[in-house]
């Protein structure tokens, strides 16, 4: 990373320092160089959803041999993870954002698998862990998380309508989901599906449950891959899915009926930070592209190098400031999670989640502008980064939800502030009265 005075890496654990050095080398010498061959090995036409570029398995094998594997699972998960703090993993997640299509998956640290593995590790029964968590941890299968629905405003998760009805020893699932990331992957073996088991419960947050649905269960129809500005993100994709009379055994419930909200809140906190740190990495690489472009001696306008134009210099400075500002917010949130868990870090998580994707969009826009038409072409990753960053303003809660939560929390301070201002005014008047 270009700058990081926020955290003194040399004061973090020796284990982290070793992994960080390996991750940095793996990024520069393996992942970024593999990006072109990965794209060339992608399937064509319908095979985009059937072919996994062979280079990925080679990279996964190397990452695992280096110990760069399942780093997202922290100390509380014991032998399942690497034992890093959220701050430590956040710094490595930033590196992975610089090769966001390759490096997270190569380290078995890519969404939605990371969040789903956390669900199984934190809330799953031993049988559920044996069947699903172990192969996910080994990188043998992939997974999907099915929550968002086209018929309702899913940013308010209490609106979710998919029906989960118990019949004897089975749950029968009916509903439509979309933007289900990972469901297009031929390795996707399991869906975690959010729906309502008790729609008439007076407590809106106890109506929902989360159930495990094997991807090959009869009644699942993948309707189509959704596209973000024309990108389909194959082979994982973001799919629209119909669940029609899908039957699973009752033991496939996660934690218990009516506890879906509890599970997804436990899943989302750290995951939001992972996304944010990858945003920092994408922003750093975007700025690097910009610096290379504007100092290219062949790129001159009006008799000057691009880097000699004041507006370009100002854009570079602004990007540097905004990247470091967002990094501070994200690492601050990670540290807060380490100290008091995600539930105690809601303010910090919200600030980071709002800041990072918006910062990335602005940095990308400046970099694309400096590249001219090339900046929005397939010759650079900037346009794809932009599509991903714009998506993150919705993913794991839209900006508006986080702003509303953050603002309401700030308003809780108003009464105390009013009392303090009143007391200050009284003391001031007392002083004046003594003149």
Alpha-carbon distance 154 to 147, whole Å?
8
Label residue 112 by pLDDT band (50, 70, 90). very high
Q: Is the dihedral of CA 248, 251, 254, 258 positive or negative?
A: positive
Phi, psi of 129 (to 5 degrees): -65, -45
Which residues are CB-contacts of 10 (< 8 A; sequence separation ≥ 6)?
17
Using alpha carbons, list the distances in angstroms from residue 355 to 92, 117, 323, 393: 19, 26, 10, 10
Q: Is 118 in contact with 73 (CB distance < 8 Å)?
A: yes
Q: Which residues of 273-284 are buried (b: 16+ CB within 10 A; e: fewer)?
A: bbbbbbbbbbbb
Range 268-279 average pLDDT: 84
What's the residue count for the chain?
A: 435
When the pLDDT of each residue in the chain is averaged and rounded to a whole number, the result is: 95
Q: What is the pLDDT of residues 39-98, one digit of tens each?
A: 999 999 989 999 999 999 999 999 999 999 999 998 888 888 899 999 999 999 999 999
Q: What is the pLDDT of residues 134-149, one digit of tens each?
A: 999 999 999 999 999 9
> What pLDDT is recorded for position 2?
42
pLDDT at 1 over 60: no
Q: Is the dihedral of CA 144, 145, 148, 150 positive or negative?
A: positive
Q: Is 123 in contact with 203 (CB distance < 8 Å)?
A: no
Q: What is the pLDDT of residues 388-405, one digit of tens each?
A: 999 999 988 899 999 999
> What pLDDT is recorded for position 273?
85
Q: What is the pLDDT of residues 283-307, one digit of tens each?
A: 999 999 999 999 999 999 999 999 9
pLDDT at 5 over 70: no
Q: What is the pLDDT of residues 343-388, one digit of tens each?
A: 899 899 999 999 999 999 999 999 999 999 999 999 999 999 999 9
The two counts, helices (H) then strands (E), for the chain are 14, 9
> What pLDDT is recorded for position 75?
84
Query: Where do the DSSP E strands lie in 263-350?
Result: 300-301, 304-305
Alpha-carbon distance 307 to 73, whole Å?
43
> What pLDDT is recorded for position 271?
74
> pTM for the complete prediction?
0.94
> What pLDDT is recorded for position 4?
54
DSSP-derived 3-state class of residue 376: helix
> What pLDDT is recorded for position 79?
85
Half-sphere exposure (CA, 13 Å, Cβ side) for 373? Answer: 0
Phi, psi of 291 (to 5 degrees): -60, -40
């Amino acid at each position: 990373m270009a700058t990081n005075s926020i955290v003194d890496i040399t004061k973090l654990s020796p284990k982290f320092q070793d992994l960080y050095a390996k991750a940095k080398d793996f990024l520069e010498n393996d992942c970024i160089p593999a990006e072109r061959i990965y794209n060339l090995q992608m399937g064509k036409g319908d095979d985009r959803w059937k072919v996994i570029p062979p280079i990925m398995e080679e990279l996964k094998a190397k990452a695992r041999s280096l110990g760069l594997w399942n780093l997202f699972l922290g100390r509380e998960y014991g032998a399942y993870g690497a034992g890093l703090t959220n701050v430590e993993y956040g710094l490595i997640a930033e590196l992975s954002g610089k090769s966001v299509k390759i490096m997270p998956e190569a380290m078995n640290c890519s969404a939605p698998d990371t969040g789903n593995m956390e669900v199984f590790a934190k809330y799953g029964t031993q049988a559920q862990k044996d069947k699903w968590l172990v192969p996910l941890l080994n990188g043998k299968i992939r997974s999907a998380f099915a929550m968002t629905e086209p018929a309702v405003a899913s940013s308010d998760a209490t609106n979710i309508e998919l029906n989960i009805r118990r019949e004897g020893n089975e749950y029968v699932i009916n509903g439509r989901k979309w933007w289900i990331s990972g469901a297009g992957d031929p390795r996707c073996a399991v869906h975690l599906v959010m729906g309502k088991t008790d729609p008439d419960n007076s407590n809106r947050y106890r109506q929902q449950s989360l159930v495990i649905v094997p991807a090959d269960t009869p009644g699942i129809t993948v309707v189509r891959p959704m596209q973000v500005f024309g990108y389909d993100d194959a082979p994982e994709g973001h799919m629209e899915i119909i669940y029609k009379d899908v039957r699973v055994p009752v033991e496939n419930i996660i934690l218990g009926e009516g506890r879906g909200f509890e599970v997804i809140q436990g899943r989302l906190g750290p995951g939001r930070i992972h996304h944010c740190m990858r945003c920092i990495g994408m922003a750093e690489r975007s700025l690097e592209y910009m610096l290379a472009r504007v100092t290219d001696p062949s790129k001159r306008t009006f008799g000057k190098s691009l880097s000699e134009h004041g507006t370009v210099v100002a854009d570079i400075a602004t990007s540097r400031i905004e990247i470091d500002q967002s990094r501070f917010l994200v690492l601050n949130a990670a540290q807060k999670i380490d100290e008091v868990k995600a539930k105690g870090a809601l303010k910090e998580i919200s600030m980071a989640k709002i800041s990072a994707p918006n910062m990335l969009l602005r940095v990308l826009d400046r970099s694309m502008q400096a590249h001219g038409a090339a900046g929005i072409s397939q010759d650079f990753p900037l346009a794809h980064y932009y599509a991903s960053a714009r998506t993150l303003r919705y993913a794991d809660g839209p900006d508006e939800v986080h702003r509303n939560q953050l603002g309401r929390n700030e308003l809780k301070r108003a009464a105390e502030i009013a009392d303090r201002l009143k007391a200050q005014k009284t003391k001031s008047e007392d002083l004046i009265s003594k003149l």
